[in-house]
Each structure stands twice: as structure tokens, then as C-alpha cells.
Amino acid sequence: MKLFLFLWIVPIILLGSWYGLSYYDINFGYRILSRELHDLVFTIYGNLLGLEPESIPPLVVKAVIFDTFLVVGFIVLKRRRKQIWAGLCQLFRWTGGHTPSEEATPQPQSDYSRIG
């Protein structure tokens, strides 16, 4: 699970860091962080997708939010799968192959001869 989370969060951090630094042209002398390359990248993506370059960042943010909900959902399913399964069984009245009469019920003591 830790590897899964790591492989999910690292690209998001790298993309967000690159976008933020290049958007505000904080390049530290690196061309990859320049605003010029930022505009070029979004122009190329816009041409490939047939969209305006300004409309791509909001789509990326929506995709990241959607992926975040998926990852959180996977984590919840992994940690609470027994509780979720029990809730589904109760909701749909599934008995798991046995009827309620077969369930263990306390049997009364039949040997009353020792009671004095």
C-alpha cells in the first residue's frame, strides 16, 4: 500500500511543482522551469487534443481530484472490506449459505437432576 501511495503522489507533486514554478517563471536558471517552455508545452498539448491551451490546466486539476477520490476509495475498501461486506450482507439480507435457524443458539441445560 505504501508503494501504491508513493507511486501515486510523486507524479502529482512533480507535476504540481513544475506547473507552479514554470507558471510564475521561477526557473532557477533551468530552461525546463521557464515560462517560455510552459507555454510551449501547453500549446503542443492543446494542438494534440484540439483544445485551447488555457483549458488544459483545469482539466488536469479535475483529473487529479478524481484520481485522489479513487485512491482514497481503494484505501477505504482495503481497510474496511470486512465491515463493508457485513453491511452489504445485512442490507441485502444475505445469509452466506445458511439460514438463521442453523445459527448457533444457546441450548438450555437438560440435566436438572443436580439442582438441589
Tell me whether residue 90 is in a domain.
Answer: yes
Tell me whether residue 115 is in a domain.
Answer: no
Tell me whether residue 103 is in a domain.
Answer: no
The reply to whether the predicted model has a pTM over 0.85 is: no
Tell me whether residue 41 is in a domain.
Answer: yes
Higher-pLDDT residue of 113, 72: 72
Tell me whether residue 99 is in a domain.
Answer: no
| List of residues 6+ apart from 65 with CB closer than 8 A | none
| Domain, as residue range, for 67 | 11-94
Tell me whether residue 102 is in a domain.
Answer: no
Specify burial of residue 74 (Cβ count, 10 A radius: 0-12, 13-18, 19+). middle
| Interatomic CA distance for residues 91 and 96, integer angstroms | 13
Query: How confident is the model over 32-81, as pLDDT tens digits?
Result: 999 999 999 999 999 999 999 999 999 999 999 999 999 999 998 888 98
Count of domains in the chain?
1
Among residues of the chain, what percentage have pLDDT more than 90?
63
